Structure 1
């Protein structure tokens, strides 16, 4: 080992550890620790075990390596040299190919060769997942010849090679493309011209494109009237006027109401393999004219046959006559019964009156202590006080009729079976008349029916809203009931036959679904029903009963529900429920619906289906719903 001295001067480094002393020596000498020759002594005296003395006595000499004319040149030293080959160079050391940095000894066998490559070419086809596109991929790889570069001697060297020759393979031709397309059975939408550039240089291009099927354009319905009836409050100059719910549309005779804009069927497509994909047929629309309308000769338009208000009833377009009153309705005017169409009242409806409409009712003022029955929507721009409002009255009456018939059929079935059980038990004398047995059964087991049936059936029969078959059943039911009540029913089989007749009627009866809405600004001590939605656009409701088959929502300000009972089959959406004084307020929704409110006071009762929850203290941001069969109330406690 060679020792290099410093002219007789000794280099000493003292530190608190060997590692730190060695680090200081590296910095001072500019040499790596592997090159240092040193002597180490631990501290003594008062610094014992706290200091380390490192004395540099010399340096190790590096071995050198280089390349000359492709061969290794080596100069011996204390520190072994290393070589690192570049990717285009192959180096083996002692018959082992290396791919990274390796230390070399003088007696190692090192072979260095350039990594030459042969020329290659490749052509392939790539097909899109939907098989409507094919892509041609061409690759040319040239033959490359390298020569090992000379390298000056150093302790660490990188072996490099330089490119001395490059030869490209023969180019593909259009015939080659046709051959590979044929091999892949691609026959449609071939684009040979798009391949010219990549035949020269390589790359990727679209070589075939199929024809995708064109989507159909469905028939479209164009309405020439406002199908939403503009029932929302009108905005004028940026301000919402809650007193103005807009005008009812009005059309003249022979006006176009609806037009069927004809679409087109889809067109067939063909993928690159020649497989045809059929285009879909368009969805067609059949226009159905209702009352007050007729179909054009080409079947593409519905026109009005009279002057009136257009609307959609079920799946039919109708026009209803409109009767308009430009002043208040009072005792001088009398009740308004207009089953032929809409009723528009531009004033108020005063106390003690009744309005019936075959379609919609619009009141531009308030309604007080009156009754409004409409087969369609009811729009009241101001207040409803101590009144009854029913929208979709015909459907509600039908539901009531079906309910009455179902209840009465159940009664007939029950009392007949009770009679037969008694007769078959042998406990009664044979001389007791059937009428007497039925009368006793009615008085002992069916008091509920006895109290209500006469009034309900008579009211339904006299309403004029039953068809002939229903009216016939009502008359027969009242007759049979009277015979049972008075004890002179002569034939018990009359009860069973009537039960069968009612059951058959219920099975075949098709109830009309006529969704109708109610819109009011404010309600007090009233009863409001709708077959669709009820919307309160102003202050709210107090001690009012509201029932909607779908949604009840309070969209005005402050939107208060205080007292009464609100039922929304599809949900109830309020801003404030109840009061600080604890006014009893009941809110109901179906089991799959939700109730939401910004603020709820104590003594409010929520129903979700049959599930009940009572509010015991004020809460806010409330959401009530059914979760896995249990009522769930999401809420925040209100703190003043």
Structure 2
């Protein structure tokens, strides 16, 4: 303790101020002891006396870093030694012992500081892909770091810190080591020298493809593309997205020449080689057998399969066939309407509102009930036909009907022209003035040849009820006849035009001779309230036919017993042979055949109209063993009148 002095004043603050002024030291270095403290009245006359002296100062040791060197200063009397603490990236040894925490040091101590510099590094790795078709050189470069001690002013406790002095870039990748590694990995094919050179000079970490193998190609197997639906399509919607349940089934069909399948030939693969020089050999491509069955023919060296017949294409195993027959149990709402490009066999019935359309034949083992059956060739209905339409021969039936309606027109037109002069003179005598040819033609059609306009009207109705597309030239002739012979058409005609029309009809008849030659037959057991149209013959094998219309391009033959035809019409292009025609009550019944055909019946009843060629007769009585034909004398009949 230093020598003290006394100071007196009115407050302790003033006492200490006096001491700092006199002793020339800061207030913080003073120590004091109050020896007298007198309080005056109401704060007046206060007096305080204190002994004041200067504190004794102890100087501690210190440590500092100057110019990268550690400097230790000793402490003053009674002071503490300097203390140091090692920082990161260094090792510090004190008198040979490594220190990690805070320790006291003195100038006499042996202190060794070893900075932990980081050397720059260049590493690489060559990696093969799993299939050995590629070699990858992975280069990894790490910069080096050199550190120095951070300068620091003297401190009693000094944490020694290392700071970055410089960053050192790594050197180039050694080519010799890369080559050795390539050899060790046995990489000999597809080595890319340019990629290796780029990798040698790269500054950062990067990957390089330094070798590529030659990839082989797998073969392309042989394939077959089928150009038809394998199954029937169901639930067909119309344009308003509604389902017509009668048209719910679409059967895949083909015609001769249709392409059924196309085979794509196989392609061989190509050899490859991996980076180790190993050869990869591709497998052989797989082939597909395309076996043609019935109705199928291979073309273009077996590349294409085409249909040779009409029918339904089917693939069973590897065998491709065209089946000309489609079989169905019943034709009803479950099956939908049947349209098939071949022959249809119905095991049971064709039910109400349904339709069967076949390019070839149709056979129904049951009945046809208020339905439609249309076929290109023969139709056989083993039981009954009720309130239905059965047509066979397709367009041939239409052509036969057209032929039937127009075949007499050229002769009639010629007769009209021959009688024109006589008719004109008669009209001139009657009227006292000349008349136009159109007027004469109108009168002749009305009075002498009414069958002409009846035939054209009947033809018009027939064509309107059918959906077939007829031959263009025939269609034009029909249109000319409608425009010229119906309505006001006849009044605008002259005989020169009528002669041209006759020649046009002759040309159409020549075409129709060939078009109507393809005949097909209909066979049914029993027919009632139905329409039967056949380009060929019609056979009724059961009880008979009632209140129906039969149109036949050949004969109409009733082979059953009693084989009756009661009510309705028969138009045939050949003989009509019936057991009984008409009814005892006189139901209107008519049969029409051409002039070279016959009508035969075991029994014929009154009110039956028979027409052979241009001759007609209405039967007035009941006859047995009836036969009618045309000879040079006209209509002749053989009939046995029965009582």
Q: TM-score, normalised by structure 1?
A: 0.38
| Bigger Rg, which one | 2
Query: TM-score, normalized by length of structure 2?
Result: 0.38
